[in-house]
Structure 1
Amino acid sequence: MDGISLAKQDGPKGAPSTLRIYGNDAYQAKFRRSRAIDAPRARYTGFKNETLTLKSGTIRREGALALTCDILFERDVAVALRDGTTIYADIFRPTGDKKVPAIVAWSPYGKQVGGPALDDIPHRSGVPLSATSGLEKFEGPDPAYWVAQGYAILHPDSRGAYASEGNATFWGRQLAEDGYDFIEWAAKQPWSSGKLALSGNSWLAISQWYIAAERPPHLTAIAPWEGFTDPFRDMVNRGGIPNPAFTEAVVTTCMAGNTFVEDMPQMSIDHQTISEYWEDKVARLDRISVPAYVVSSYSNPIHTRGTFTGFRSIRSKDKWLRIHNTFEWPDYYNPEHVQDLKKFFDYYLKGEKNDWQTTPRVRLSILDPGHADTVNRPVEEWPVPGYPVEKFYLHADRTLSNKHTTTGSTVSYEAETENSLITFTHVFEKKTEVVGYMNLHLWVEAIGSDDMELLAYAEKRDKDGNVFPLPSATGEVPSTVSAVGLLRVSHRALDPELSTELEPYLTHKKEQLLSPGQIVRVEVGLWPTALRFHPGEQLTLTVRAAPKTSTKYDKGFGVSIVPVPARGGTFKPDEKVEIVELGGGMDSQPEFVNAQRVETPASRNKGTHVFHLGGEYESVLLVPLAEVS
């Protein structure tokens, strides 16, 4: 390693206690020690400030895509942020003196390889090794393709990531201001045309909402591919239920650094109602006006709602939404979609007079398990007009019906058993499409507890009530397409100004615990979907006690062995070079990393969950649908 010393396994001392948020330069927040960058699963390639020419025809690893042009690779370039913190970036750009636009991939996951990689996911989530060069950041654009198209690709290690100085943070003011500084630094480089864009999915998409809201003068366009906009409502406390498992997995298996990392898992437990901390984490979408190409799906468990919200809420005059029918990673690297994104960037970053402006503003997918999906249907807007809301009442015989019964009844389950669920079914007589958001109104009572944590999901089943098995995003287990909603009943209070018929907006400002015998009305908003039903097929609604995901959850990022040339850069396919194998076993984490994990929050599901139906209790599912030919 040249110039940078690795963190010791026992980690740095003296955790910081403050975080810059909007309106407060020294907000009290929790931090924890970062996983050391020499931990095997961090897959760090080391620090070396150098410039290499990667020759056309060379490869990064056996089986990967070969380069089709020479690439100038500037490694570990120092970038000073406004507070004096230095971060390091890798730059891939065309050789020669021509000024070029640049695409930024912003994340803390590593500039080269890093903690997470597609290799860690079964079947690489449908992205063949030969489809990418191996120079790409996880979830980011591939330099091998984009440099050949006349773009620079910039891979910063954000604050606190790997060798970059400072303490790593999640989204909010600090990340936004750092992104602003980096973009304006890049615009001043001698190779830069002064036009920059952001691209990538997941963390790389989420970051775009925050950075764009800071309005860097040289940010010309964004392309967020599946990225939430409100961590509290979309992920860590969705429906008011604390669920730090995913952020634990990110902190412990995806990130590494020499200092500290913001402890969002702990903050989600310490701050279970909205605070200044969570307000800082809501993307300021109304400040975004640059052209945007937004990509979403109905099946992402953390990004779906936020991506649609982002598209709807940004002020950009020029914005497009494409809703796909697969998963984020194969969709991002699909050659057809890469070409589509190139057309968008060529128009705005290069000024090419192509036909991008004729692209439909919204391209819709209709999912049709058991049949053929409809993809890229052009529509005018989202939500899609032409799908009137229909009421499906919940009945004690476990059916969903358009008729409300005047006779009151109840159904219930024991909240701590394996069968703590109830399913209601509607059979369609005609071909029907359900497109948009659904809202479930329930009248609930808890016996033996002062709260309830509910999970509700609507899905399509076949004529015999069987689910349609679909491959999961990781290829691990079969799943089915579901529109899902969560609610901690004590968080049932709604914002009347922001709530709509189909989209309840929870305030999360305080808890309202239940009293014995108290029956309350709640709304559970289900995230959007688009499903086609054929005659005889079923719409099923399941309501159950929400399960807990353990914070010991480990997705296995950093485990697969990724080979890279020891000298850095690339090599000729027939060349014998020294190879370094990066990665480590599941048990190779430093001991302190697992010791810092938060405990899985205790469930509030105890006793009996009772649901009141009929009569004065209008328990109903609101569904946007239309019969189709």
Structure 2
Amino acid sequence: MEKFIEALGVNVIFDPTTPLSASEPPVPAVDTRTVELKKGYVHVEGALALTCDITFEQDVAIPLRDGTILYGDIFRPSNQKNVPIILAYTPYCKRGGWWNLNFNATKFGVPQSTLSGLQSFEAPDPAIWCDAGYAVAVVDAAGTSNSGGDEVFMGTASGRNVYDVIEWLGERDWSNGKVGMAGNSQLGMIQWATAALQPPHLAAIAPWEGLNDSYRDVVMRGGILDTKFHDRDIAAFIFGRNNREALTKMAQRYPLYNAYWEDKRPDLKAITVPAYVVASFTSAIHPRGTLEAFRGMASEHKWLRVHNNQEWLDLADAGSTADLRKFFDRYLKNIDNDWDETPKVRLSILDPGGEDQVNRPETSWPLERQEWRKLYLDAQSFGLSDAPLTPSSVAEYAGDDLTQCVRFSKVFEEETEITGYLNLHLWVEAADADDMDLFAALYKESAVGKRLHHITLIGPQARGFVKSLEQDGKLPGTLSYTGPLGRLRVSQRAIDPERSTPSEPLITHKSEERLIPGECVPIELSLWPTSMVVHAGERLVVEIAGHPVGPHAHGTLPGAILDLPTRNHGRHRIRTGERYDSHLLFPVIPSQQAKK
């Protein structure tokens, strides 16, 4: 089925949603009622007992402007008026179902006793927030679970649906008229699109790890089609009664950036509400877009915190919740607390194989005190050099061989912090084809050549599980992190000169310029932002291949599938030296001693 979207000028493909009957356990049937949950109530054995009486309005019907009915669960402290509302808008089922059973944070190291069991996947815990004087509304997205309509994936149409939900919630007679949004991943992503539409009752947002560009961050990263994560890990387990937008089929129909993809990237300059943004460098899909959204939004009052754990764990952490409460108290309750004194930016400086720095206060992102450094690739020695090289040389590998790559490395003589945006400027050629897909990774090795990992899970048992998955000295990505990645289809190498910098080239992806076999061209292959320390004696490595490199991601996340449908055929060459100034550009943060 296709729908013509006049505002975009394109037909959008819709497929039947995975039926409700396929969910195991089942999505609960609609059962609209109000239940009083008393203080001391325990929802799941061993879980956190309620510390206040909660009125639970189950399967509340919420109308949209077109008459579509969505269903939501509302938890609010009993017998209280003028209560602010925290909204989680979810495609994953607000209660019961597959996601809530299989991806509860307690399965990943969060103690059961710290959560009530009333929380939905990637959403805040109603028991904790009701005790703090908030209502929590968890609403099934249009076209998912029992909600009506068709599922639309992000973009203006999805933001408009949430706009209507916010306005309906803000007019409840027990509400103080202020609605905030919270949640992780898709529950964070939708906040950008919603806030850009400026619903009057929306007073604050708290997107936790939310990418903002579906083209550049997931299905067409670097211009290379990558469908399996969205199709196999996400869409296959979103259950509903009607149809869903076929995002990856649209990527196959429109592999170049157009109005359809532009609509999936919210107008960040239109976001003016206070925002508490949470990111990490270790996620396989969210870092670039989350940090871009923080920088691009027009909010006068905005804060960024970059953590060092897996995102579900950070969301469930008691310290994170207490921090978020201070933010919401300030902007949803108008409490004159000390939140405004919170540093605008707090970073985690990763040290794979060592000890991280967490919550380091900063005044900006990226850091104003960064100093730019170049390391030149040397295809003769496969080293990285501080100075331009002579003579020229060439490194070659089979672009369509999943076992081949080239590595360039340098042993550092002093401790160095790399924090910010990185870019590989490369001179490349395809000897036997008219296009080439390139993949790159940056990571460090110990003095004895062992790849160094940061493990994102917490607790001895969970960390032990991750270590047990080691293969050929590598742990799986997402469960671990070694450094930033990047990829590029070379025919789409054109950049927007007005919106690009040497460290952050913006690839337009609007057209193709095929190669002449044997023609050498310069390209900009950006690596995602990072923050990591390289110690004296450790080796920094740049790895390049015609397939995903670095630790292979867990499951089907981008970076997990080696045999992507690339355009690679035959030999790839990287030229270095003399006029071929292939180099890594990266930001170094001076140490405190150096500053003194």
TM-score, normalization by structure 1: 0.87
Partner of 1:529: 530
Q: Does 1:417 align with 2:401?
A: yes
Q: What is the letter of the counterpart of residue 412 of structure 1?
A: E
Alignment of 1:18 with 2:19, yes or no, is no
Give the deviation of 1:249 after TM superposition: 2.7
For residues 602-621 of structure 1, the aligned pairs below 5 Å read 602-621=565-584
- Per-residue CA distance 1:271-329 (angstroms, 9 max, x = gap): 11012210110111100000000011111111000010011000000000011111111
Superposed, which structure 2 residues align to 1:182-193 within 5 Å? 182-193=165-176
Distance 1:122 1:180, change over 3 A: closer
The question of 1:218 aligning with 2:201 is answered: yes
Partner of residue 211 from structure 2, selected from 228, 232, 254:
228
Q: How does 1:266-305 map to 2 (within 5 A)?
A: 266-305=249-288
Instruction: Please report how far the alpha carbon of residue 370 of structure 1 lies from its aligned counterpart in structure 2 after TM superposition.
Output: 2.6
**Residue 208 (str. 1) matches residue 191 (str. 2):** yes
1:115 maps to what in 2?
98
Q: For 2:556 and 2:422, how far apart are their aligned partners in 1?
A: 31
Query: What SS does the aligned partner of 1:609 have?
Result: strand
**Residue 377 of structure 1 is aligned with which of 357, 360, 365?**
360
Deviation at residue 118 of structure 1 after TM alignment: 6.8
- CA–CA separation in structure 1 for the residues paired with 2:101 and 2:293: 26
C-alpha separation in 2, matches of 1:249 and 1:71: 37
The 1:261/1:250 distance shift into structure 2, 3 A limit, reads farther
1:136 aligns to 2:119 (yes or no): yes
In structure 2, the residue matched to 1:126 is 109
Q: Which residue does 2:323 correspond to in 1?
A: 340
Alignment deviations for residues 457-498 of structure 1 (CA, whole Å, 9 cap, x no partner): 111221122112333569654243211111011111101011
Contact 2:438 2:546 (8 Å CA) reproduced: yes
One-letter amino acid of the counterpart of residue 537, structure 2: G
Post-superposition Cα deviations, 1:359-394, rounded to whole Å, max 9, x if no partner, equal: 000011111123221111111100012221111000
The corresponding residue for 1:489 is 490
Aligned residue identity for 1:102: I
1:250 positional shift: 4.5
**For residue 497 of structure 1, what is the amino acid of its counterpart?**
E
Q: How many residue pairs get matched?
A: 565
Q: CA deviation at 1:40?
A: 3.2
Q: Is the 8 A contact 2:440 2:548 kept in 1?
A: no
- Would the aligned equivalents of 1:406 and 1:616 in 2 still touch at CA under 8 Å? no
After superposition, residues 225-624 of structure 1 pair within 5 angstroms as 225-396=208-379, 397-471=381-455, 477=469, 478=475, 479-547=480-548, 602-624=565-587
Partners of 1:243 and 1:268 within 8 A in 2: no
Judged with a 3 Å threshold, the aligned counterparts in structure 2 of structure 1 residues 250 and 173 are, in CA distance, closer, same or farther, namely farther
Secondary structure at 1:173 match in 2: helix
Identify unmatched segments of 5+ residues in structure 2: 470-474, 558-562
- Describe the shift of the 1:19–1:201 C-alpha distance in structure 2 as closer, same or farther (beyond 3 A): farther
| Cα distance in 2, alignment partners of residues 507 and 501 from structure 1 | 15
Asked whether the equivalents of residues 422 and 503 of structure 2 are also in contact (C-alpha less than 8 Å), the reply is yes
What SS is found at the alignment partner of 1:44?
Answer: coil
| Residues 115 and 253 in structure 1, CA contact (< 8 A), matched pair in contact too | no
The answer as to whether partners of 1:147 and 1:153 remain within 8 angstroms in 2 is yes
Secondary structure of the structure 1 residue equivalent to 2:89? coil
Distance 1:110 1:124, change over 3 A: same
Contact 2:432-2:518 within 8 A present in 1 as well: no
**Pairing 1:85–2:86 present:** no
Please report the RMSD computed on the Cα atoms of aligned residues, expressed in angstroms.
1.9
Amino acid at match of 2:453: P
Equivalent residue letter for 1:470: H
Q: What are the Cα deviations for residues 155-178 of structure 1, in whole angstroms up to 9, with x where unaligned?
A: 111110111111011010111111
CA 494–269 in structure 1, closer or farther in 2 if over 3 Å, else same: same
Give the structure 2 partner of residue 563 of structure 1: none
Q: Using a 3 Å threshold, how does the CA distance of structure 1 residues 433 and 542 change in structure 2: closer, same or farther?
A: same
Contact kept? 1:437, 1:503, Cα under 8 Å: yes
In the superposition, relative to structure 1, how do residues 154 and 317 fare at CA in structure 2: closer, same or farther (>3 Å)? same
1:169 to 135, 147, 152: 152
The CA distance in 1 between the partners of 2:271 and 2:105, in whole Å, is: 36
User: How many Å separate the matches in 1 of 2:439 and 2:456?
Assistant: 19
Going from structure 1 to structure 2, the CA distance change for 1:97 and 1:404 (only over 3 Å counts) comes to closer
Of 17, 27, 37, the residue aligned with 2:20 is: 37
Q: What SS does the corresponding residue of 1:207 show, helix, strand or coil?
A: helix
Unaligned runs of 5+ in 1: 1-14, 557-599
Amino acid at match of 1:84: G
Cα separation, 2, equivalents of 1:18 and 1:42: 32
Which of 22, 26, 41 in structure 2 is aligned with 1:58? 41
Identity of aligned residues (%): 43
Distance 1:312 1:41, change over 3 A: same
Distance 1:200 1:624 in 2: 31
Structure 2 counterpart of 1:198, one-letter code? M
Give the alignment's TM-score, normalised by structure 2. 0.91
Is the 8 Å Cα contact of residues 183 and 196 (structure 1) preserved in structure 2? yes
Q: Is the 8 A contact 2:37 2:54 kept in 1?
A: yes
- What SS does structure 1 have at the residue aligned with 2:536? coil
Letter in 2 for 1:490: S
Give distance in 1, aligned partners of 2:101 and 2:25: 14
Contact 2:434–2:514 under 8 Å retained in 1: yes
1:416-469 alpha-carbon deviations (Å, 9 max, x no partner): 324321111111111111110111011111122221111111112211221123
